[in-house]
Amino acid sequence: MKKVLYVLLGIFFAACYDDKGSYDYHDVNETTIEGINGSYNVTMGVTTLKIDPKVTMTMADPEDTTRFQYEWRANVAYNSTVLLGTTRTLDYPVKLDPRSYTLYFRVIDRQTDLVAVATASLNVGAPYSRGILLIGENREGEADVQMLAMSTDTVLCRDLLADSGLPVLRDPVDVIHTGYNSNDKCIKLWVLTKSQAYSMDRKTFKGNETDVFSKLLYLSQSYDSDFVPVDIIPRIKDNLGNVASTYNRAVVCNNGYIFVGSSVLMGGDYYIDPVNREESNPNVWLKAKPYLLYSLKKYNGGIVWYDETNERFMRVKSSYDSFSKTMNDVEGDPFDWDQRKTGRTMVYGENTFNTDGGSTNGNSFALLKDGSGEFYIYKFYVSSSVAKRDAYTISSSLAIDFDKADFYAFSSRRTVVFYAVGSRLYAYDYNKGNEKCYLLEDFGEDQITMLKCDTQIEPSANPVYVATYNNANGGTLRKYIQDMNPDKVEVTPVSNSCWTGLTKIKKMSWRAAN
């Protein structure tokens, strides 16, 4: 039974000096309210709050709407009140801003001015605060963002860009939440496309055409091109939304420019001149491949990147640097940083939680290809210093259609690189002397549109996510667990982790809070 507070309205009590002792007594219509919980947790734009309280009265019919008026209100003390409904039952699609409220249910007796009140705690969460962010294309070829919002249940939030306030976008690249940060100015929610990057409102997913990356730049000179990010690091490294550094950040843009920044130095998420240049030749800009390589667990501002202009790996030691440096090669090393003698070029890069060689905070992998179509894997550790760990040659006779792959993903737990060719998912074990290739699954008419080894939601398990698409049914996202049998590579689908009716997924990322 809900405790009820009675309030008498519109009565002025005056003292009476001439008390004759004559009183009229009337029975009070006692009201009882049941069926309202002590608290409710809802999500803005997702949840419909439905409450069907039982109202009983000792002297009247609660369904008499000519006498009784009902009100549901959400109150913020000393601030505001919002009317949610005027019927006994509440059926309210939640549009309240995310915060805590007191929910009031009032039964007003127009005849006596008595009001019965029941209250509850109402906690409104942001719809996009926790879950898997997905960016891709809808059936019209427009950029589309969806989210598998996860609280007590998993709810698919659709068409997040449709009502965002941004124009129709195309060529989606990524959607990134930058994770927890002690400085709120540094917490960003980015939608990246080929032509522009937009910083979105973290609670409402609203955007503005003026909230773009270039507004964060304080440049000492003018440049001929715009700066549109394709990757922003460090990425979230665990289910709670933590990152490898709360005050260091780096950005690589689609024109090959790299920015590094420190919130300690800049007072927020701001950047000065690019660092993709050498101190000895500061006016010559080197084009970077779109991969920033660093340690996922601990990021001190140092990165390794690939100089496409000169076919070599370069290093930025910290977020306070203004230039990039070359790295020395030593005879007997598993590979060279300078690739000009080998005729190889980088085609893909990925950061993992792999700890081979004592790399506590996670090795990085680079996939290279030479002029004859042969592929090579370089494994190295980016920390306070950079250490080469190993190199592997992909056997073209074993790795079926490796040169035709649309996507690659490196396992953190095994010597395995997964790759996708059309509708087929493969795994190649590059363990020296035991190289093997496996066709894991053929999705038939469904083309693979994304492949990812998770390092954010369950980094220790490192599950594999595969997105597919067909015109009839739309997109599907599947989760697989990696089997640890050293003699064979297998993945097992997770039965309750297959989501259908999605967009044509290009990228996925995790978000844990606002």
Burial of 152: CB neighbours in 10 Å, binned 0-12, 13-18, 19+:
exposed
Three-state DSSP at 334 gives coil
Q: What is the pLDDT of residue 181?
A: 82
- Please state, in angstroms and as integers, the Cα–Cα distance from residue 302 to each residue in 233, 288, 468, 493, following that order: 11, 15, 35, 37
Q: Which residue ranges make up each domain of the chain?
A: 5-125
Mean pLDDT of 422-442: 98
Task: Give the tens place of pLDDT for each residue, 200-220.
Answer: 999 889 999 999 999 999 999
Three-state DSSP at 279 gives coil
Phi and psi for 263 in degrees, rounded to 5?
-70, -25
Three-state DSSP at 404 gives helix
* Number of C-beta neighbours around residue 373 at 10 A: 9
Classify domain 5-125 at the CATH class level. Answer: mainly beta
The more confident residue out of 77 and 2 is 77
For the chain, the helix, strand and coil percentages under 3-state DSSP, each to the nearest 5: 5, 45, 50
Of the candidates 227, 261, 230, 225, which has an alpha carbon nearest to the alpha carbon of residue 245?
261
Average pLDDT, the chain: 92
Cβ(356)–Cβ(372) under 8 Å?
no
Task: Give the tens place of pLDDT for each residue, 250-274.
Answer: 999 999 999 999 988 888 899 999 9
Task: Give the tens place of pLDDT for each residue, 70-121.
Answer: 999 999 988 889 999 999 999 999 989 888 999 999 999 998 889 999 999 9
> Tokens 């927020």 belong to which residue?
268
Kindly tell me if the per-residue pLDDT of 7 is higher than 70: no
Task: Give the tens place of pLDDT for each residue, 20-30.
Answer: 454 555 577 88
Of the candidates 338, 296, 297, 293, which has an alpha carbon nearest to the alpha carbon of residue 316?
293
Three-state DSSP at 301 gives coil
DSSP output for 106-135: EEEETTT-EEEEEEEEEEEE-TTSSEEEEE
* Cα distance between residue 307 and residue 313, in whole Å: 6
Could you tell me whether strands 114-125 and 39-43 are parallel, antiparallel, or unpaired per DSSP bridges?
parallel
| Confidence grade of residue 3 (pLDDT, cut at 50, 70, 90) | very low
Q: What is the pLDDT of residue 270?
A: 93
- Please state, in angstroms and as integers, the Cα–Cα distance from residue 131 to each residue in 126, 146, 293, following that order: 11, 10, 25
Q: Which of 110-114, 280-284, 491-495 has the lowest mean pLDDT?
A: 110-114
The more confident residue out of 316 and 202 is 316
* Cα distance between residue 199 and residue 209, in whole Å: 9
Kindly tell me if the per-residue pLDDT of 12 is higher than 70: no
Three-state DSSP at 358 gives helix
Burial of 433: CB neighbours in 10 Å, binned 0-12, 13-18, 19+:
exposed
Mean pLDDT of 216-231: 94
Q: What is the pLDDT of residue 409?
A: 98
* Cα distance between residue 10 and residue 67, in whole Å: 16
Mean pLDDT of 137-153: 91
Q: What is the pLDDT of residue 39?
A: 95
* Cα distance between residue 468 and residue 466, in whole Å: 7
Mean pLDDT of 391-405: 97
Of the candidates 226, 147, 233, 149, which has an alpha carbon nearest to the alpha carbon of residue 186?
233
Residue 465 structure tokens:
């996510």
* Cα distance between residue 159 and residue 433, in whole Å: 49
C-alpha 214 chain-centroid distance: 22
Across the beta sheet with 172-177, what order do the strands follow? 172-177, 189-193, 197-199
* Cα distance between residue 382 and residue 235, in whole Å: 15
DSSP-assigned beta bridge partners for residue 136: 144, 505
Which alpha helices (H) appear in 142-287, and where do they start and end?
Answer: 263-266
> Tokens 């709670």 belong to which residue?
240
Q: To 5 degrees, how large is the angle CA 306–CA 430–CA 498?
A: 85
Residue 10 is given by DSSP the state S
| Confidence grade of residue 128 (pLDDT, cut at 50, 70, 90) | confident
Q: What is the pLDDT of residue 180?
A: 85
Length reported for the chain? 514
- pTM for the model stands at 0.83
Give Cβ neighbours of residue 294 (< 8 Å, ≥ 6 apart): 233, 234, 244, 250, 302, 303, 304, 351, 364, 382
Kindly tell me if the per-residue pLDDT of 14 is higher than 50: no
| Confidence grade of residue 289 (pLDDT, cut at 50, 70, 90) | very high
C-alpha 55 chain-centroid distance: 44
* Cα distance between residue 192 and residue 200, in whole Å: 11
- Please state, in angstroms and as integers, the Cα–Cα distance from residue 139 to each residue in 17, 53, 142, 472, 490, following that order: 81, 43, 7, 10, 33
Q: What is the pLDDT of residue 2?
A: 47
Q: What is the pLDDT of residue 8?
A: 43
* Cα distance between residue 131 and residue 219, in whole Å: 36
Kindly tell me if the per-residue pLDDT of 35 is higher than 70: yes
